[in-house]
Amino acid sequence: MTGYLIKLIRESIPLTQEQLAVDLDVDRATVQSWESGRRSFTAVPLGQAIAVRHRLGRLGANPTLLAALDDAAEADLILAAVLDQHVTQSDIAEQPLGWSVLTHRLTDLILWAVLGQTPSFARGLPLTPPRRGPVASGPTLPVDQRHTFFAHLQVLAERAATGRDPNVLLHRQACFLAGMDPTRAAAAWLAHTTARARRRSAFHTWSPLWPDARSVVTSLANQGDPEPLRHFIARAHPDDACERAALNYSAYWVGEIPYRQRDDSFMPGPLIDWHGSVLLRHLVGRLDPAHPFVDLNIHNVWALLAARRSLVLDNPNQGRELLDRTIELLDSDRISAQSRQELTSIVYSLRADGLTGTGTGR
């Protein structure tokens, strides 16, 4: 992942491998080995790696790609650990997938390698300039390694859930990524995990098991079954702590909380350190009846506007887009009854604020 990103960064300048080698004061073989993955860039001494990033910036590298370099290195670390053939015996505590809470960008980079889908942060960037001959169009893993990745996630999730000291963060993040399997092979396993969790817990307020259950039902929705997620939205937000947890986690996911969190304990805290404009834009862009998490996105918009009423007043264009999408969703038969009520409340609130939409809705 890191090597492919370095190649994209070089091409964004644009420079050949020979030209970049001269500017970085290394030989061409070094640049070539970084880009091919034969020599991992993560093995470069920290001081040299920092100097390389600064030089790339001065040379005119695309700042969006350059900012993703650290996450790409972590994505490589996670991929290697999950794909390790000794995953059934390795020390669970040494699994980097359980070291900190994943962000959207880091998850996008992992899935770029596993699914071949361009990360959302890089969409719209000119990532593939014309080249001669057959070249890789992305950092995608071979098919057999993709199957291994999803199979090993289930192994890690089961191991993380057992024993005297379960690793809840590793379990939920393994379940979440397992739900991205496009073959839907994880659906039955995730359904069993959900049934087991329901027997074990009923939420009266936030607990470390709350985000774990949320990740599992979200994965099930991605596998084609939205009902457990709808049940969670309706039953697992009994107090303000759970609503705060949903919003804080979403803000963290999209990067509005800029520092990495070691575990999920930050979630039920006060709604501070973030504004909400980035989160609102992210959610509005996903108010699509075909989106597997559409009910969750609707609920989060509803909760966000309840907590940050001024967001749409500060950005009326975003408010008008939200109104249009909300009205269109109300015509859909692919949302829950609760989502319909929340959408109706959003429309009423927006119109009360004087917003009339752009004319694309009713």
Please report the DSSP string for 250-307 in residue order. Answer: HHHHHTSS-S--SSGGGTTS-S-S--SHHHHHHHHTT--TTSTTHHHHHHHHHHHHHH
CA distance 141 to 28: 25
Cis peptide before 14 (omega within 30 of 0): yes
| The pLDDT of residue 42 | 85
Please name each of the domains of the chain with its CATH number. 1-67 (1.10.260)
CA distance 228 to 242: 17
CA distance 145 to 227: 31
| The pLDDT of residue 194 | 79
Least trusted range by pLDDT, from 47-56, 148-157, 185-194, 335-344: 185-194
pLDDT at 134 over 60: no
| The pLDDT of residue 139 | 87
Closest CA to 97 of 40, 22, 175: 175
Q: Which segment, 18-22, 33-37, 139-143, is predicted with the most confidence on average?
A: 18-22
Contact 4, 139 (CB under 8 A): yes
| The pLDDT of residue 355 | 87
Contact 79, 113 (CB under 8 A): yes
Least trusted range by pLDDT, from 6-15, 29-38, 93-102, 196-205: 196-205
Work out the number of other CB atoms within 10 angstroms of the CB of residue 103: 19
Task: Say which residue, 195 or 54, is predicted with more confidence.
Answer: 54
Q: What is the pLDDT of residues 158-188, one digit of tens each?
A: 999 987 788 999 999 999 999 999 999 999 9
What is the Cα gyration radius of the chain? 22
> How many CA atoms lie less than 13 Å away from 270 in the CB half-sphere?
2
Residue 293: burial class (beta carbons within 10 Å; 0-12, 13-18, 19+) = middle
CA distance 194 to 81: 25
Tell me the average pLDDT across 3-10. Answer: 95
| The pLDDT of residue 133 | 47
- Give the confidence band of 17 by pLDDT, cuts at 50, 70, 90: very high
- Give the confidence band of 125 by pLDDT, cuts at 50, 70, 90: confident
Total length of the chain: 362
Q: What is the pLDDT of residues 106-117, one digit of tens each?
A: 999 999 999 999
- Give the confidence band of 360 by pLDDT, cuts at 50, 70, 90: low
Which pTM value belongs to this model?
0.92
Contact 213, 197 (CB under 8 A): yes
Q: What is the pLDDT of residues 201-256, one digit of tens each?
A: 678 999 999 999 999 999 999 999 999 999 999 999 999 999 999 999 999 999 99
CA 224 to chain centre: 19
Mean pLDDT of the chain: 92
pLDDT at 82 over 50: yes
**Tokens encoding 213:** 């259950």
Closest CA to 56 of 46, 67, 45: 67
